[in-house]
Structure formats: structure tokens, C-alpha cells
């Protein structure tokens, strides 16, 4: 079911000690927030401890990545069942940093989506174009391919667990957000793709987040767009006051 949602993607930031301070600040400040789902996505090392700290909070715990297998000889990997057991309910898949720096391709991401679903983790599936693709007006083509190649193989039941995050790569960590028009246009397009594939009720009920330099100063304008249901927040999620202000921007 579509809900206003703000997710913090901490990326590879904070030691456990710093992370505990930050999550405690967020827990305290989040008490006044109603009707918006909050999700925190810290590094793996924090998850178990955060699961305990979040016991009496409605904040959901997500991971930044999962393996494309469940168990076995895959040194360095962490799998969906392991995450599920320690209280994780969602996982980011297809973030542009992983696509770019770790060469995660369509089939690999598709297997991760399947692993998440079969362990009961909801994918937060990221898509978005690079600057050159936008300059050549290829953004819709690019996003369509990302969705069709790695996500749209899911059946209806499984797809209902998915959150989509549209994150234009040129806006991530640059301070330059997409304009609300650019973002709304893409979100409406993504919703139309969902409608064609899964029907109008699924399209209306799918949460589509915007990510890329979303901050307190632009969140209100972005979240006011009819097809933007919230944000996936990187840099600004590392300051509790900014994160909470963004969460109050609906």
C-alpha cells in the first residue's frame, strides 16, 4: 500500500558508535511524525544493534545490499535470510553506486530481487539515468530497461512488496536535485509502466520515492508532486534534524 515514505541511505558512513548516537537522535525526534513511514538503511555492522534500539519505534530497518545467493562459498557476501533474521525488512537493490562501482548488471540485480522476495524482504529498487543519457533525452528508455530487465519479472503478489526509488545519477550527492517537474515527469512515467504491466490498482498503490540531493530546502516542493511519495535520502539523512525536517515535508 502506497504511503508517504522517507528512507535514509547512510551509505558507508558512521562507525557503530556514531551510528548509535545518530539513530537515537532520530528515534527521539521521530516521535511527532505520524502518517509517514521512516526507513533507516545503515551499514551492515549496525543492523543487529539497531534492531534492538528500534524495538519500540515504528522506524523500519533496511539493508543497503544483499547477495544474489542464500548460502554458500561466497566470501564477503551477506544474504537475505541472514538479514531477515536480525530484523531487517527491506533492502536497497540496484543503487547507482553499486551499478557503477561494482558493475552490478541486469541479471545480477534480478537474482538479488528474487533472493529478497523469497526471504520476505521488500526491495527498494533504484533506477535512474546518468547525465549524458538525460542530455540525449534517453532517460525514459534507460529507466524502462532497468525496470523490465531486473524487476518486472515479478508476479503481482511479489511486486506489491516493492518500493521504487527514482534517482537520477547526476543528482546523487551533487547538491543539484532534479527539478520537481523533471522528477514528477519520470515518476508519472514509471507509474504508467506499472499500470501497463500490473494494472491501475497496483500503479496507484506502489510507493515511488525520489532520490538525489533531496534536502529540507527542496523536499516540500518535490513531495507536493502527485506521483512523488517521498524520498530516498543520502547526505541529508546523516543529520537527524535535516532527516526529520524532510520527513515532515508532506
Residues that bind ligand PGA (CB under 6 A): 9, 167, 172-173, 211-214, 232-236
Closest to ligand PGA by CB, 115 or 236: 236
CA distances from 88 to 195, 202, 204 (A): 29, 24, 26
Residue 100 in grid coordinates: 557503477
In terms of Cα–Cα distance, which of 232, 221, 213, 238 is closest to 38? 232
Strands 90-93 and 60-63, sheet pairing: parallel
Closest to ligand PGA by CB, 203 or 238: 238
Q: How far apart are CA 83 and CA 153, in angstroms?
A: 23
3-state SS track over 194-241: HHHHHCHHHHHHCCEEEECCCCHHHHHHHHCCCCCCEEEECHHHHCHH
Active-site annotation holds for 95: yes
Closest to ligand PGA by CB, 203 or 211: 211
Find the residue with minimal CB distance to ligand PGA: 234
CB 117, min distance to ligand PGA, A: 21
CB 175, min distance to ligand PGA, A: 8
Residue 126 in grid coordinates: 533504484
From the candidates 46, 95, 104, 129, give the one annotated as an active-site residue: 95
Q: How far apart are CA 50 and CA 99, in angstroms?
A: 27
CB 231, min distance to ligand PGA, A: 8
**DSSP codes, 125-173:** EEE---HHHHHTT-HHHHHHHHHHHHTTTS-HHHHTT-EEEE--GGGTT
CB 64, min distance to ligand PGA, A: 10
Active-site annotation holds for 132: no
Closest to ligand PGA by CB, 230 or 234: 234
From the candidates 97, 104, 129, 167, give the one annotated as an active-site residue: 167
Strands 37-41 and 208-211, sheet pairing: unpaired
CB 234, min distance to ligand PGA, A: 2
- Please list the residues that pair with 5 across neighbouring strands: 37, 230
- Please list the residues that pair with 232 across neighbouring strands: 7, 211
Query: Active-site residue numbers?
Result: 95, 167
Amino acid at each position: 500500500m502506497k504511503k508517504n515514505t522517507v528512507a535514509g541511505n547512510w551509505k558507508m558512513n558512521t562507525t557503530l558508535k556514531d551510528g548509535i548516537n545518530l539513530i537515537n537522535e532520530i528515534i527521539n525526534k521521530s516521535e511527532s511524525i505520524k502518517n509517514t513511514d521512516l526507513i533507516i538503511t545503515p551499514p551492515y555492522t549496525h543492523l543487529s544493534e539497531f534492531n534492538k534500539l528500534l524495538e519500540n519505534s515504528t522506524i523500519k530497518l533496511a539493508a543497503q545490499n544483499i547477495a544474489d545467493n542464500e548460502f554458500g562459498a561466497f566470501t564477503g557476501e551477506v544474504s537475505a535470510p541472514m538479514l531477515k533474521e536480525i530484523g531487517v525488512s527491506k533492502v536497497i537493490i540496484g543503487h547507482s553506486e553499486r551499478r557503477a562501482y561494482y558493475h552490478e548488471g541486469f541479471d545480477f540485480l534480478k537474482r538479488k530481487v528474487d533472493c529478497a522476495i523469497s526471504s520476505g524482504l521488500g526491495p527498494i529498487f533504484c533506477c535512474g539515468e546518468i547525465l549524458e543519457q538525460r542530455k540525449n533525452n534517453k532517460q525514459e528508455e534507460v529507466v524502462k530497461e532497468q525496470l523490465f530487465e531486473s524487476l518486472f519479472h515479478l508476479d503481482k503478489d511479489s511486486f506489491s512488496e516493492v518500493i521504487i526509488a527514482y534517482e537520477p545519477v547526476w543528482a546523487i550527492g551533487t547538491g543539484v536535485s532534479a527539478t520537481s517537474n523533471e522528477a514528477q515527469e519520470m515518476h508519472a512515467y514509471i507509474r504508467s509502466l506499472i499500470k501497463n504491466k500490473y494494472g491501475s490498482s497496483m500503479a496507484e498503490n506502489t510507493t515511488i520515492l525520489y532520490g538525489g540531493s533531496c534536502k529540507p530546502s527542496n523536499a516540500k516542493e518535490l513531495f507536493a508532486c502527485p506521483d512523488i511519495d517521498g524520498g530516498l535520502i543520502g547526505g541529508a539523512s546523516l543529520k537527524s534534524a535535516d532527516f526529520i525536517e524532510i520527513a515532515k515535508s508532506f
